[in-house]
Each structure stands twice: as C-alpha cells, then as structure tokens.
Amino acid sequence: MTSEALHEAMQAHLSRLPRPRRLPSRLESVYAAAGSGLAMRHHLDRYDEVSSGPSAHGIDDEDLRAIASFLLTSAEGRWRRLARSLPHLWRRGGREHRRLTGMLLANLPEEVLGDDRWTVFTSLLQTDVGLSPVADAAEELRRAADGPSDAWLEAMAAQSTLWTRYAAVIVMTGDPTKASDVSVGLVQRAEGATPMFDRLRERWMERHLDAQRS
C-alpha cells in the first residue's frame, strides 16, 4: 500500500482513539481501505487455520508498525485506554489484529499495562489460537524487552500441554545459540501439534546444536 493511502485511511477511521471495544472494527476499516489481499501471501500460507478471526487483508509489517505508531501517538496521555483495547483486539483474531497487539504491547509503558509485558501477554492466551500468532507477538516483545526467565517459562509450561507448546514457541523466537539448558529441554519435550511446530523445532535445534559444536 502507499503511505498516502494508509495515512488517509488512518485519518478517516482513527482520527480519535476509539473506545476499547470499537478499536478492532475501526482497524478493519483501515485494513480494507488501504490493504492488498495479494501482499504477505508467503506469510498467510503458513498461518495456522485455528488462528481464526477476520480474513487477512495482507497488511505488511511495515504498515502495521505505522498503524501502531499512529495509535501510540494518538493515545499519548490516554495510554490506559489503549492498553484496555488489547484484549479486545487479540480476541477479535486475525493476523493483523494479533500482530498489532504484539507491537502495541511491546511499546506501551509497563506501568500502564499493570504488569510486565510477558505476563500481560500470557493473560491473552486463554484459548488455543494456533502457533503463528504466539510467535508473531513474541517476536515483537523481544524487540522491546529481554526474553522471559527460565523460571517464568517453566511455570508457564507447568499449566498444560498447550501452554508447554506456547512456552516452547516463545523460546524459539529467541537466539538458539544463546539458549539455556532449561530452554532447550522445554523445546525438546513440548508435544508438537502441527507440522509447522515440528519444522520450527527442527530448524531451531539444528542451529542450537551447530553452535554447541563450533
């Protein structure tokens, strides 16, 4: 999309920070006005079917970052209102909504979020949303903060088989050459539910073992 088309769409639909429940539908109007269904096809092909939510509009990450920046600027002085929008945005589903949730979560002040970013993130994972949304959001969080501690990951994994898998995905968004023994063990014991998870684990473990041998 052109920057002009995106700016016009944001001005038209996000000139004022919407109420938390209304933000997802306003954003869908931005996506529809400025998006291209052909963009990001390589990414959409790997997105888990279970992820659900609105159909993807093909908004690329650069444009999603522009939208996140626009929202953060609009919300200055009212960041708590934007923070309250995150659960609604995540639950609405769809690639763009969930990737954008990760971007906002990575950039809002923690005192506004009410807890550290990783804990707030896991509060969103109450149902099985597939692996790609978790990986996408975790990648954004790692841009803003260190990865979670081994103790935090182990506590997460102890909740259930699904949460063990989620914890493993979070680990695998980090550098495999610097992974701790605890993190590696968690990745190894996670029960994969999809070919995507198994491929991700195989590549991550290969890089980890290559680093160990060098």
| Separation CA 155–CA 132 (nearest Å) | 22
pLDDT at 52: 58
Give the span between the Cα atoms of 207 and 212, in whole angstroms: 9
| Assigned token pair, 44 | 């959409």
Handedness of CA 173, 177, 183, 189 (dihedral sign): positive
Predicted confidence at residue 41, as pLDDT, reads 45
**Residue 107, token pair as written in the block:** 């950039």
CA 44 to chain centre: 14
Query: Domain-by-domain residue ranges, the chain?
Result: 1-119, 146-214
Residue 194: what pLDDT?
Answer: 81
What confidence score (pLDDT) does residue 44 get?
46
Model confidence band, residue 132 (pLDDT cutoffs 50, 70, 90): confident
Residue 49: the pLDDT is 47
Cβ of 119: how many Cβ atoms within 10 Å? 14
pLDDT for the residue 89: 95
**Which residues are within 8 A (CB) of 184 and not within 5 positions of it... i.e. 6 or more apart?**
205, 208
The pLDDT assigned to 206 comes to 94
Percent of the chain with pLDDT over 70: 88
Distance, in Å, from the CA atom of 131 to the CA atom of 157, rounded to the nearest integer, reads 15
> What does the alpha-carbon distance between residue 20 and residue 39 come to, in Å, rounded to a whole number?
28
CA 137 – CA 145 distance, rounded (Å): 12
* pLDDT at site 68: 96
Give the C-alpha separation, 41 to 55, whole Å: 12
The whole-chain average pLDDT of the chain stands at 87
| Angle (nearest 5°) at CA 124 between 118 and 128 | 115
Q: Where are the beta strands (DSSP E) in 11-164?
A: none
Q: How does pLDDT run across 30-58, given as a tens digit for each residue?
A: 998 876 554 444 444 444 445 556 666 77
pLDDT digits (tens, 9 = 90+) for 72-123: 999 988 899 999 999 999 999 888 999 999 999 999 999 999 999 999 999 9
**What share of the chain in percent tops pLDDT 90?**
65
Q: Which among 62, 122, 111, 113 is positioned nearest to 83, based on CA atoms?
A: 113
| Predicted local confidence at residue 47, as pLDDT | 45
The angle that helices 79-92 and 95-107 make with each other, rounded to 10 degrees, is: 150
**Segment 154-167, tens digit of pLDDT:** 999 999 999 999 99
